[in-house]
Amino acid sequence: MAGEEATGAATAAAQGSEAGNGGGYDGKCVFCRIARREEPGTELLPCEYEDLVCFRDRKPGAPHHYLVVPVKHMGNCKTLKTEHIPLVKRMMEVGKSVLQKNNFSDLNDVRMGFHWPPFCSISHLHLHVLAPASQLGFLSRLYYRINSYWFITEITSLLSLCGGKFSGEQEIRVNSPFWILNIPSEEMARGLMKRTVCAKSIFELWGHGRSEGELYASLKNYPVDKMLPYLQSDSTYKVHIHTFNKTLTQAEKIKKIDALEFLPFKGKVNLKNPEHIFWILEDYGTNPNNIPEEPFHLYFGRWIADGQRELIESYSVKKRHFIGNTSMDACLSFIMANHGRVKPNDVVYDPFVGTGGLLISSAHFGAYVCGTDIDYNTIHGLGKASRKNQKWRGPDENIRANLRQYGLEKYYLDALVADSSRPIWRKGMLFDAIITDPPYGIREATRRTGSLKGAVKSVERRYTEEIIPRHPCLKLISNCEQMLSRHTSRRLITMEKVKEFKDQDENSYLLDGQYMPYRGHNSFREKYFSGVTKRIAKEEKDNQK
């Protein structure tokens, strides 16, 4: 169980504040009618569970698009609770089975999921099953897009690195700082927390509920044999309370701790150096202007480990020896290294290395690092300084000095002056990961060596997933957005190599004509500064009134 402030809850698909409509039939619900064969235009497909039905979507978003629906009427995914996990598992089993029965066997190219209200048109729980996910059209990619929050993908990458995977049971409640992850072992949980900079802590969950009564009932149902090793008479412990979006008085905290006297604690309380630490976690929502009297969710668990958020401060750019105008933020550097699943003895390459921020985070995890950059002065640590009140760079301001500052110089291979638009490497496997932050032309202008025979006119278009570069050797893993302003954002695109490069793949990126309008290397710069110019002109006009 892991979370941004601690850990918490997200059930098999999602959670909400209302219970599902437990049973019966709603004559106004089209899915209820289909389940009872009252819609002759819809054919029911073979299904191994009597409480579920499966049929084709009337408006398919992919070559294979099926819906798996409970026979009994129940609300949308927001009404799901922990006890519905077996139901969701069966729904997913049916989805996989119907695909296989229809001669689709590549279960790695499947998208399954629920639509979160208000984006579901029918308020009867239904699982979308789409395949191949790689052939979803533009509207389908938008409508059935996968979750793309930073934390989800970082945890997914780290689970994979530790030998686990992010299963369908581990859906995320995006509006809560507390999530539940089903992790196979405590060892894997500790391994995950040794890497993540997004999660604060991880706990073994003993009980949770939407009220104190539900929490206590959940704790009483937790197996005693799992509790006893941590409650022995020769052990020491303490209990912490963390409330998200609300502050409790000391008296209120003590009252909540005393209410747990029914738990079989036999050890002694030790507030300074206990063997075992237990936490009560309470979620009061995310709106500081509307804090409820009672929490939306409560959790109790045993602390296992903390994340690595202290790395953000210890590797802060403010304290770094050598910086530039666009040195990568330490937090994002570690997130990108985790997305790349960087591990000891890997070789990591950054083709826009700058001052080496991404090399530092990769070297921290034991990888050997190298990079290239077109800027001779940056590579050699020459020219004007980027620091305030410093005109010229010092004699030892360079990438190697940055790694030396953190005791990572032994992982530094080299940095070369090179133009990334021109191939410089021999064919063959060279790197375990390529991690980079290309220039946008805002604080540092983009450049290119040689002559530019043609220029692509900037076209005013909004972002769509269709413009993400594709290549037959690469598979898109995640697409994370970070807002920069009301009008601009940047995206962290993570791709995995799925096959070896062949000669026929050399020009495959040229085959997709929809990318052409976006290939002007300064198009983002032009759009960005056109907006700034308009805003300045408007402000000047308003000041003249």
* Distance separating alpha carbons of residues 128 and 130, to the nearest angstrom: 6
Helix or strand (DSSP H, E) at 494: strand 489-497
Cα separation of 198 and 155, whole Å?
8
Distances (CA, A) of 98 to 47, 64, 126: 8, 10, 15
User: Residue 465's closest CA among 437, 491, 434, 496?
Assistant: 491
Rg of the chain (C-alpha set): 27
Q: Are strands 368-373 and 347-350 parallel, antiparallel or unpaired?
A: parallel
Cα-to-chain-centroid distance, residue 195: 14
Length of the chain: 545
Tokens for 451, please give them: 């002559």
Alpha carbon distance 134, 495 (integer Å): 13
Active-site residue, selected from the candidate residues 65, 73, 124, 126? 126
CB of 300 within 8 A of CB of 219? yes
Q: Determine the Cα–Cα distance for residues 345 and 343; give it in Å rounded to an integer.
A: 7
Beta carbons within 8 Å of 29's beta carbon, 6+ residues apart = 73, 122, 123, 124
Contact 105, 50 (CB under 8 A): no
Q: Where are the alpha helices (DSSP H) in 322-433?
A: 330-339, 357-364, 376-380, 399-405
| Whole-number Å distance between alpha carbons of 489 and 152 | 19
Q: Where does residue 245 fall: left (phi above 0), alpha (psi -120 to 50 degrees), or beta otherwise?
A: left
The DSSP element (H or E) to which 237 belongs, if any, is strand 236-244
* 8 Å CB contact between 116 and 77: yes
d(CA 110, CA 129): 7
* Catalytic residue flag (residue 126): yes
Contact 282, 298 (CB under 8 A): yes
Question: Can you say whether the dihedral through the CA atoms of 147, 150, 155, 156 is positive or negative?
Answer: positive
Contact (CB, 8 A) for 57 and 45? no
3-class secondary structure, 394: coil
Evaluate the CA torsion angle 431, 437, 438, 444 in order and state its sign: negative
Active site residues: 126
